Chain A
Amino acid sequence: MTNHWIDLKNADAILAIGCNPAENHPISMKWIEAAMDNGGKLLAVDPRFTRTGSKADHYAQIRPGTDIAFLGGMINFALQNNMIHEEYVREYTNASFIVNEKYDFNEGIFCAFDDQEKTYDPKAWAYAVDGSGNPKRDKSLKDPRCVFQQLKKHYSRYTVDMVCSITGTKKEDYVAVAKAFCSTGRADKAGTILYAMGITQSTHGTQNVRATAMLQMLLGNIGIAGGGVNALRGESNVQGSSDYGLLFHLLPGYLKSPEFDNVDLKAYLEKWTPKTKDTKSANWWGNTPKYTVSLLKAWYGDNATAENGFCYDYLPKRSGNYSFMKLMEKMGKGELQGLVCMGQNPAVGGPDSLKTREALGKLDWLVTVDLWETETSIFWKRPGVNPKDIKTEVFMLPAASSVEKEGSISNSGRWAQWRYKAAEPVGDAKSDLWIIDQFAKHMKKAYQKGGTFPEPITKLSWNYGEGHEPEVHLVAKEINGYFTKDMTIVDKDKTLEFKKGDQVPMFKYLQDDGSTVSGCWIYCGSYTKDGNQMARRDATDPTGLGMFPKWSWCWPVNRRIIYNRASVNPDGAPFNPKRAVIAWDALEKKWKGDVPDGPWPPMNDAKEGKYPFIMIPEGHGRLYALDMKDGPFPEHYEPIESPAKNLMSKVQSNPAVKAPANMSSDLNKYPFVGTTYRMTEHWQAGAMTRSLPWLVELVPTMFVEISQTLASSKGINNGDQVKITTERGSIEAKALVTTRLKPFNVQGKMVEQVGLPWHFGYAGLATGDSGNVLTPSVGCANTSIPEFKAFLCNIEKGGKRA
């Protein structure tokens, strides 16, 4: 989230698209309702009339996978009706930047597409530059090659009629949502966009997210209280696990994991450190060398020196895509010998899960670390298989629960909050920290005796105390970082003295010469000489905006609303003085309010002023992107399995996505739109809820939700057993016939939808078939997240799964 949960109360309009907070983030409704109590409007856009929809001022039905059409139409609506925040767009976004002569978009395809490789060359989309190497601009926004004019042209095709014939939304509902939300494009109004997996789980998921961000930039809604682009994250610490780089392409703090041709530290830093010639651009990622070297110092300690490139060689280098789906594919081919699952349950959580379950049997060994038996840990005795045929050695390790250990987790609003140990773990269960520590210690011992390239392990710095349990505070302190020698740092008018071993107070003091350690630069400031900031419980709220600056700690630098320099005009005065996030005090020459996005004075300060979008080399929010794999503007394409022809162009689905063979848009076989979703009473792959009697009593069994019209056409009654089939497999479930689901109008023909929770499986107290048996293993062009939300299926009364 750019903002945070309590901040939702500050919104005049809340657009919930591709998320269902009332169901999946129930307590967030406290703050959504607080906004509504103050006259704010809740707008819910969803294929199903959800719990959020039932609370909304306006509900708009949308066919799964057509979000770009919906949001592109809103962009067009705001532009055509002059509802944008003009000053914000001109000053803070790249609207005024001139696009190079080669850029073009024709018949659904952007320029520089390689039809053989199914890839674009994004270099062709670059800005035109002036003699000094800076992008050319036209602040009047009139140049036909400027981003603003290109944007206008691109989205002029997204008329209300066109959009509604794609999305199936009723025109009056669409206009009501567009009007209500675009009315926040004024300085004194705030609109927030909430999204979750309905936006991301798509073959154009990243472009869906971009479309939300673009709309928000046009309306001047990023950086302000009650605004922002807010991903409602579904797991308690999925924010933290992303922050710490548990993804193939990342290292902690969103540093990139090295690629094969980043041959040494110098080449790595050259590749990943963005540059700008514009002195007004903060270009914060220009600090990449400081964060990378501080990370390597945290990992290799005294062994990491300038001479040896701080042990950069020890890091694995990637060559290609190792995303979840690719790993499952590799596993299916027998190319993985071992797999360790730390609280993840791929047998239920991933797409095309019959294939995943089969693939697990190709492993030599599998380790699961969990509180429960999961479908993954007992895959070898799942229904329909003979354990004798499965040669995988399985270790099922019992893990401590969240109340049986100490440490921090980061919520969706980036608040890192400390948890305490209330009791000892049950039985022989151990904390994940202890388990990981044991793995590392066993490996260190083993590689002392020799092995292939032992140095990355034997030289790894691993000092977390001598006790039975690793000292979690030592880990937290290493993450924050400390000085490795005595230092004097001059920061403007202050001279700061630090001793070797002192905690680094904030990341601007991290160094690229090995004099600082920091395991994750964005958490620098979380554990300082003043102690553990994440454990703070001071519930004062000086601004009244709900920022609670002394409650827990929030990355980066305890900044509660990021990009907050965009909440003020170029002179530093808040666009909306009634909800001032920050404000420049010209007399005292300092910012007041939230921690500003960088210490510099307002943008108009001739000497030191900086643009507000500090993480982008050009300092301006990108209405037009330069580095997406599938185009600079989000363009509507149909999901890979779709009941509709693409009305927007001849290109049916995202041209930069390759689909696997087991997909089909044969409407005779699979006439219905399938979609998966979550519910309050269960959680994710189900292990954490399907064994809790209270929750099992509430929702005891797998069900499939269908409309009354589909039920009557198929002769299905509420509670009947039904079979749902896709090209991947079939499952059984109980029919739940409701008025919440309605068919979609697809180009004049009514197409029914089938809604499936994905929480069930064959392990635990309450069991049932898994929704993900049905879902396709095809993903977003940029992130490889699977298209769980839109596929084609059939449903029949009775019948057994295949």
Chain B
Amino acid sequence: MAVSRREFLQGGALATALVLSGKKAEAGGADASQMRTKGLKSSTTICPFCAVGCGLVVHTKNGKIVNIEGDTQHPINQGALCSKGSALFQVANNERRLQKVMYRAPGSDKFEEKSWDWALERIGQKMKETRDKTFKAKEINKKDNKEYVVNRTEGMAFLGGAGLDNEECYLWSKFARSMGVANLEHQARI
């Protein structure tokens, strides 16, 4: 729904006039909710910024996100959003978003574009190499001088997760531990 700034302001002025005249703004005008979103597909989401968990409605047209606004039915925010939540539209539509897999070779001064297949293969090699090379099956404990089985990959650390979905966090945890990664941490520690 392409609305120019000028049209938007005109709509706003109209809505203001209606409010002042005591008529319901919803009755008409470009800003009326059913007009703005008419013919669009909608789905609900939860804000990805802080952990209040405000609800939002995402509107799409032909598969493209054209509008995001507060979910008036959501009991926590009742449609309201802060400046970050209101800007979620610009996360979805932003020319600075990464669109390609990028690779930087050792010592290089630039990124180069790569395919997912190539990158996943290469990352897989690196992960396996590191695990195989730095895996510690047993260690002697300094305090009691006894040997213990520790089955730990020493040379690799995994960070992050506070921006992931629960199901992603779960698989990340499962994958990390299967790889012997004890160095598993995320934003909650800082």
B43-72 vs A, Cβ < 8 Å mask (1 yes, 0 no): 111111111111100101001110010000
Chain B at the A interface: SS class: mixed
- Closest residue of A by beta carbon distance from B156: A338
Kindly list chain A residues whose C-beta atoms are within 8 Å of the C-beta of B36.
Answer: none
Is there a chain A Cβ closer than 8 Å to B186's Cβ? Answer: yes
Kindly list chain B residues whose C-beta atoms are within 8 Å of the C-beta of A186.
Answer: none
A386-427 vs B, Cβ < 8 Å mask (1 yes, 0 no): 011111111111110111110111111101110111111011
- Is B52 within 8 A of A28, CB to CB? yes
Within 8 A of A (CB), among B134-172: 134-135, 137, 139, 141, 148-172
Kindly list chain A residues whose C-beta atoms are within 8 Å of the C-beta of B127.
Answer: 338, 439, 442-443
Kindly list chain B residues whose C-beta atoms are within 8 Å of the C-beta of A327.
Answer: 157, 159, 183, 185
Taken together as a complex, chains A and B put the C-alpha atoms of A335 and B130 apart, in Å, by 11
Is there a chain A Cβ closer than 8 Å to B82's Cβ? Answer: yes
* Interchain nearest-CB distance for A270 vs B (Å): 16
* Interchain nearest-CB distance for A40 vs B (Å): 18
Is there a chain B Cβ closer than 8 Å to A615's Cβ? Answer: no
Which of B121, B141, B158 is close to A261, meaning CB atoms less than 8 Å apart? B141
Number of interface residues of B (CB under 8 A): 116
Contacts A338-B130, A689-B84 given: A237-B99 contact, CB under 8 Å? no
Contacts A399-B98, A519-B174 given: A387-B77 contact, CB under 8 Å? no
Is there a chain A Cβ closer than 8 Å to B80's Cβ? Answer: yes
- Closest residue of A by beta carbon distance from B57: A422
Taken together as a complex, chains A and B put the C-alpha atoms of A765 and B163 apart, in Å, by 21
Contacts A236-B48, A683-B50 given: A387-B151 contact, CB under 8 Å? no
Which of B52, B101, B164 is close to A412, meaning CB atoms less than 8 Å apart? B52
Taken together as a complex, chains A and B put the C-alpha atoms of A351 and B181 apart, in Å, by 23
- Is B53 within 8 A of A246, CB to CB? no
Task: Report the stretch among A163-171, A308-316, A491-499 that lies at the interface.
Answer: A308-316
- Is A433 within 8 A of B77, CB to CB? no
A522-539 vs B, Cβ < 8 Å mask (1 yes, 0 no): 010000000000000101
- Is B87 within 8 A of A689, CB to CB? yes
Taken together as a complex, chains A and B put the C-alpha atoms of A237 and B49 apart, in Å, by 9
Taken together as a complex, chains A and B put the C-alpha atoms of A785 and B186 apart, in Å, by 11
- Is B166 within 8 A of A344, CB to CB? no
- Is B44 within 8 A of A420, CB to CB? yes
- Closest residue of B by beta carbon distance from A343: B163
Number of interface residues of A (CB under 8 A): 163
- Is A238 within 8 A of B84, CB to CB? no
Taken together as a complex, chains A and B put the C-alpha atoms of A405 and B86 apart, in Å, by 19
- Is B151 within 8 A of A246, CB to CB? no
* Interchain nearest-CB distance for A639 vs B (Å): 17
Task: Report the stretch among A92-100, A363-371, A651-659, A735-743 that lies at the interface.
Answer: A363-371
A248-263 vs B, Cβ < 8 Å mask (1 yes, 0 no): 1001100001001101
Which of A25, A319, A342, A447 is close to B128, meaning CB atoms less than 8 Å apart? A447
Contacts A344-B159, A403-B88, A421-B43 given: A785-B168 contact, CB under 8 Å? no
* Interchain nearest-CB distance for B38 vs A (Å): 17
Kindly list chain A residues whose C-beta atoms are within 8 Å of the C-beta of B49.
Answer: 235-236, 683, 688-689
- Closest residue of B by beta carbon distance from A402: B48
Contacts A242-B188, A419-B46 given: A541-B75 contact, CB under 8 Å? yes
Kindly list chain A residues whose C-beta atoms are within 8 Å of the C-beta of B119.
Answer: 395, 397
Taken together as a complex, chains A and B put the C-alpha atoms of A441 and B153 apart, in Å, by 19
Contacts A27-B82, A317-B150 given: A439-B123 contact, CB under 8 Å? yes
* Interchain nearest-CB distance for A212 vs B (Å): 18
Which among B47, B127, B163 has the highest number of chain A CB atoms within 10 Å? B163
Contacts A5-B76, A260-B150 given: A426-B99 contact, CB under 8 Å? yes
Which of A336, A439, A523 is close to B183, meaning CB atoms less than 8 Å apart? A336
- Is B171 within 8 A of A440, CB to CB? yes
- Is A681 within 8 A of B45, CB to CB? no
* Interchain nearest-CB distance for B159 vs A (Å): 4
A427-465 vs B, Cβ < 8 Å mask (1 yes, 0 no): 111111100111110110111000111001100100000
Is there a chain B Cβ closer than 8 Å to A490's Cβ? Answer: no
Taken together as a complex, chains A and B put the C-alpha atoms of A210 and B109 apart, in Å, by 49
Is there a chain B Cβ closer than 8 Å to A698's Cβ? Answer: yes
Taken together as a complex, chains A and B put the C-alpha atoms of A430 and B158 apart, in Å, by 19
Which of B51, B68, B170 is close to A244, meaning CB atoms less than 8 Å apart? B170
Kindly list chain B residues whose C-beta atoms are within 8 Å of the C-beta of A764.
Answer: 96
Is there a chain B Cβ closer than 8 Å to A24's Cβ? Answer: yes
- Closest residue of B by beta carbon distance from A764: B96
Contacts A235-B162, A416-B166, A551-B75 given: A247-B100 contact, CB under 8 Å? no
Within 8 A of B (CB), among A597-653: none
Is there a chain A Cβ closer than 8 Å to B102's Cβ? Answer: yes
Within 8 A of A (CB), among B102-148: 102-109, 111, 116, 119-128, 130-135, 137, 139, 141, 148
- Is B131 within 8 A of A451, CB to CB? yes
Is there a chain A Cβ closer than 8 Å to B18's Cβ? Answer: no
Within 8 A of B (CB), among A263-286: 263
Task: Report the stretch among A218-226, A471-479, A500-508 that lies at the interface.
Answer: A471-479
Kindly list chain A residues whose C-beta atoms are within 8 Å of the C-beta of B166.
Answer: 237, 240, 243-244, 407-410, 416, 476, 479, 523
Is there a chain B Cβ closer than 8 Å to A680's Cβ? Answer: yes
Taken together as a complex, chains A and B put the C-alpha atoms of A801 and B31 apart, in Å, by 49
Taken together as a complex, chains A and B put the C-alpha atoms of A555 and B87 apart, in Å, by 29
- Is B109 within 8 A of A316, CB to CB? no
A668-689 vs B, Cβ < 8 Å mask (1 yes, 0 no): 0000000000001111100011
Which of B88, B170, B184 is close to A248, meaning CB atoms less than 8 Å apart? B184
Contacts A315-B177, A342-B159 given: A239-B58 contact, CB under 8 Å? no
- Closest residue of B by beta carbon distance from A477: B167
Is there a chain B Cβ closer than 8 Å to A241's Cβ? Answer: yes
Kindly list chain A residues whose C-beta atoms are within 8 Å of the C-beta of B8.
Answer: none
- Closest residue of B by beta carbon distance from A26: B82
A752-768 vs B, Cβ < 8 Å mask (1 yes, 0 no): 00000000000011000
- Is B139 within 8 A of A246, CB to CB? no
Kindly list chain A residues whose C-beta atoms are within 8 Å of the C-beta of B182.
Answer: 248, 257, 316-318, 322
Is there a chain B Cβ closer than 8 Å to A372's Cβ? Answer: yes
Taken together as a complex, chains A and B put the C-alpha atoms of A405 and B43 apart, in Å, by 12
- Is B190 within 8 A of A785, CB to CB? yes
Is there a chain A Cβ closer than 8 Å to B78's Cβ? Answer: yes
Taken together as a complex, chains A and B put the C-alpha atoms of A537 and B152 apart, in Å, by 44
Is there a chain A Cβ closer than 8 Å to B173's Cβ? Answer: yes
- Is A316 within 8 A of B163, CB to CB? no
- Closest residue of B by beta carbon distance from A28: B52
Is there a chain B Cβ closer than 8 Å to A6's Cβ? Answer: yes
Is there a chain B Cβ closer than 8 Å to A745's Cβ? Answer: no
Taken together as a complex, chains A and B put the C-alpha atoms of A317 and B135 apart, in Å, by 12
Which of B65, B111, B155, B172 is close to A396, meaning CB atoms less than 8 Å apart? B111
Is there a chain B Cβ closer than 8 Å to A340's Cβ? Answer: yes
Is there a chain B Cβ closer than 8 Å to A349's Cβ? Answer: yes
Known: A316-B177, A338-B157, A436-B171. 5 other contacts (CB 8 A): A393-B105, A415-B53, A429-B99, A442-B121, A443-B124
* Contact sample, A vs B, 8 pairs, CB 8 Å cutoff: A316-B152, A317-B182, A396-B98, A398-B98, A401-B92, A410-B166, A446-B125, A692-B90
> Which 10 A-B residue pairings sit nearest by Cβ, starting from the closest?
A427-B99, A411-B53, A407-B165, A344-B160, A342-B160, A398-B98, A241-B161, A442-B124, A26-B82, A235-B162
